[in-house]
Structure 1
């Protein structure tokens, strides 16, 4: 047994199941189980205005009809070889995105274990929570950890790379997938290659941070640096043992959070107080930057991935990842190009976007915002969104159409003392029992049947019928039917913010 295998076995006494007692791992030696782990806690703004704080890029269809999360969930389907791939992936997401995450995974026909982080603490704690769950009841498994917001065109090539990486992981190494670079790029971290192995993989010499342009060019010219894809393959016990040595405070906090956590319907909820004690850090900084140094708790291996990978980290990267016309243009939605070259245009709100004579331009239209950007300046979008947020403009946080666990609402119009919303409630769903201090509401049913609670009353409304909810009166809207319920809500009052909601009862556990 190698040093890292011995260490993984000796250090495997940790809590691994929600609410279970800690105990030593029952499985030592060979491990044939692969557990996909999807890290879906991101809230990036580089794809604004499509990506928002409350609806980040993993939840949108950037390069196809499915969201990036749904594409990632499906990525391990059809995996061949001698490995047993778990039917239920582990998905780690934030509280604000849990309902949409569950909805999209369910729509994909996949049953998943969804871990809801009590707070944002970056990727290392997220992976640690998943590792503990993957070792439930003292078992062990090889984790295939993937970001939820990347694009990979060649899935068979991905599977071949994961198969090689899993063999190294089984032997006790932390394996990662590296992308042989096609150009100097300052937006990626790099992996400096160590000695070559007989299966195309390399030992990891070290991880290096995102370089300046001149240094990135030197890396590519040297041929000994690959891009860091952020995909890791490692035995759960090996990860936990490495973290315990390198980041003992993080290890202790995450293990305690899982041990003291509980199941809440479709979600696994780590204990918030325990998780709050963990430092915030990435996988790279917490563990991988130590690989190749004397302090390394185990070996590191990088496996090449040539599969049309993109992190979709900017609109320019989206343009680069998509099929183009003969002039190098990419269109999504109602778009017309006339004399345009190397441009990307997207109509998300349904309006026609016409680009005439544009070159190297990004145009993204949504219901409430339009972005026009030179492709060479896409990295400045993050700063732009920060400015919008400082001005307390709603376009930084949410779309006009806001998804809720019961369905969604779309803010159609608003003025000083009124707001008009289109509300759609899914069959069998219901809003919370609530009241408002500052507004009254008028509801008109346009499709379906509504069950209305208003004070002590409860009654049905059919199509073309309406009701009035006075200010300060407890009320609830439900859909008892089998088709979506659609209503038009007119709010009136001195304050119309979403924080003017006092909930008395909620099916979805919201406070």
Structure 2
């Protein structure tokens, strides 16, 4: 039997990393610390070499295709993905995964966050191996990060007596301290940062949840029993899960159980919770700067610049974070980056869209980039992956012109189906049932010009969709 069953929590929003992290493309799906891998993919990759089953991902319904595509790129198309209709914190999410895991066996769950950075993979795996016999013996293991400085942004775990070869009893969990208290914790040598990573048998977690939060467990049982299976997606019953109480695993179980054990972890860990945290862990030049993208500089110090699309030039600035995307630019002092979330709150209260998605929007069939818009018109650059097909649909308020730039489009336009190749175009009238498909082996690139009285994405009536969208 495989010993370790990874459960990866991928439901966060990452609002402090706006404007890169957005509601529909949050930080766990972005390549922040690695240019080649997203945070989620790096989390999966660092388990390579351990004896594990395929991971189970837990993410929001609206991120399902993003998660599935990133797992496909790792060659893990068969990995299970549990979809949450709403966020209910970590205790219910882990409960659903544990209930599903117990359907056939009683595996040891390794619960990881999808948005953590771990720089020393060998040390990480050594801590996992040290925790495994404790978890197999019925303990509920949490991993305590060996602190490098008096951090006020993390909760702490106080170490108790030694348990087994590599663990310690948890004396207590403590909330985020002020600076003086954090300094005292560091001086004692017996306090660790609370990592939010866990290992335990699925049955043991469910037993403790039954004892301390039976209401959560009952709601999760109901939600899973009423759920549906769609390929490797598991959709829990939306009404039952929405009624589930919201609580973290720390409050619901770990702070109450008598079997909590901590295993130290000293592996270059960071939760990348802010732009300053990303600056901390990034490679810097001699002046302490981190530059990503097209950046020119004169005499700046200790500054982080991320340029997505345009040249960014800095002259004589210090301790700044500058992030440029296609539709937004952030300039913040490193000491105040925690307040970026307040900008996101302003965007929400002002009914603006820059916190929801980038100008580039990913879909299960490919992506589109809204390159221009004005009164009664909008222009998009659309990429359709080989073999992919947009839904059969119609619009009440807009017509569309499609101009193929590269590849070949198979177009359904009312009763007609025909091919459109490079430098050719076609027209879809208002109210016409239509579909777009890429029958070729290279990506299909086209320009779409929309015109009409209303151009919102909700003016789509779907008749048929291979991806199961309503």
Structure 1 length normalisation: TM-score?
A: 0.89
Deviations 1:463-491 (A, max 9, x none): 11111111111111111111111110011
Pick the aligned partner of 2:392 from 411, 423, 433: 433
1:468 aligns with 2:439: no
1:428/1:480 contact within 8 Å kept: yes
Q: Which residue of 1 aligns with 2:75?
A: 109
Shift of 1:302: 0.8
| Distance in 1 between residues matched to 2:175 and 2:393, nearest whole Å | 49
Q: Does 1:232 align with 2:198?
A: yes
Q: How does 1:177-216 map onto structure 2 within 5 Å?
A: 177-197=143-163, 199-216=165-182
Deviation at residue 32 of structure 1 after TM alignment? 6.1
Alpha-carbon deviation of 1:182?
A: 1.4
Secondary structure of 1:468's aligned partner: strand
Partner of 1:20: none
Secondary structure of 1:427's aligned partner = coil
Q: Is the 8 A contact 1:254 1:274 kept in 2?
A: yes
After superposition, the C-alpha distances for 1:75-127 in whole angstroms (9 at most, x for unaligned) are 21012xxxx421x1111111110001000110011231111112211111111
Kindly provide the CA deviation profile for residues 358-389 of structure 1, in whole angstroms up to 9, marking residues without a partner as x: 21111111111111110000100011111012
Separation in 1, partners of 2:338, 2:444 = 41
State the SS of the aligned residue for 1:411.
Answer: strand
Distance 1:198 1:269, change over 3 A: closer
- 1:38 pairs with 3, 8, 16, which one? 8
- Whether the aligned pair in 1 keeps the contact of 2:163 and 2:261 (CA below 8 Å) is no
d(CA) in 2 for partners of 1:455, 1:240: 54
Q: Is the 8 A contact 2:145 2:265 kept in 1?
A: yes
Deviation per CA, 1:238-273, whole angstroms, max 9, x where unpaired?
001111111101101112222332210231222223
* Superposed counterparts of 1:6-405, under 5 Å: 33-64=3-34, 65-79=36-50, 84-86=51-53, 88-110=54-76, 111-137=78-104, 139-197=105-163, 199-290=165-256, 296=257, 298-349=258-309, 351-405=310-364
Deviation at 1:309, TM superposition (A): 0.4
Structure 1 unaligned runs (5+)? 1-30, 291-295
The separation in 2 between residues aligned to 1:199 and 1:321, in whole angstroms, is: 31
Aligned residues: 468
Does 1:442 pair with 2:401?
A: yes
Contact preservation (8 Å) 1:362, 1:373: yes
SS at the partner of 1:46?
helix
Counterpart CA distance in 2 for 1:44 and 1:254 is 25
**What SS is found at the alignment partner of 2:336?**
helix
SS in 2 for 1:285: helix
Please give the TM-score of this superposition, normalised by the length of structure 2: 0.97
Query: How far has the Cα of 1:287 moved from its partner?
Result: 1.2
2:61–2:83 Cα contact (<8 Å) kept = yes
Say which SS state the counterpart of residue 354 (structure 2) adopts: helix
1:406 aligned partner? 365
187-196 or 436-445, which moves further after superposition? 187-196
Structure 1 residues 23-75: Cα deviation after superposition (integer angstroms, max 9, x where no partner)? xxxxxxxx861011100111121110000001000000001121001101112
Question: Which piece of structure 1 moves more, 271-280 or 435-444?
Answer: 271-280
How far apart, CA to CA, are the structure 2 residues paired with 1:75 and 1:243? 29
Rounded Cα–Cα distance in structure 2 between residues aligned with 1:101 and 1:483: 23
Query: Aligned partners of 1:142 and 1:480: how far apart in 2?
Result: 44
| Aligned-residue CA RMSD (Å) | 1.4
**Shift in Å at residue 198 of structure 1?**
5.5
Paired with 2:395 and 2:232, the residues of 1 have a C-alpha distance of 30
Q: Distance in 1 between matches of 2:438 and 2:389?
A: 6
- Taking the aligned partners of 1:482 and 1:142, their CA distance within structure 2 comes to 42
Deviation at 1:433, TM superposition (A): 1.0
- Please report how far the alpha carbon of residue 200 of structure 1 lies from its aligned counterpart in structure 2 after TM superposition: 4.3
String of CA shifts for 1:183-242, please: whole Å, max 9, x gaps: 222211111221234534321011112223333233223322211111101110100111
Alpha-carbon deviations, 1:157-182, whole Å to 9, x = none?
00110111111111111101111211
C-alpha distance in 2 between matches for 1:416 and 1:189: 50
- 2:374 aligns with 415
Could you tell me how far apart the structure 1 residues matched to 2:425 and 2:374 are?
22
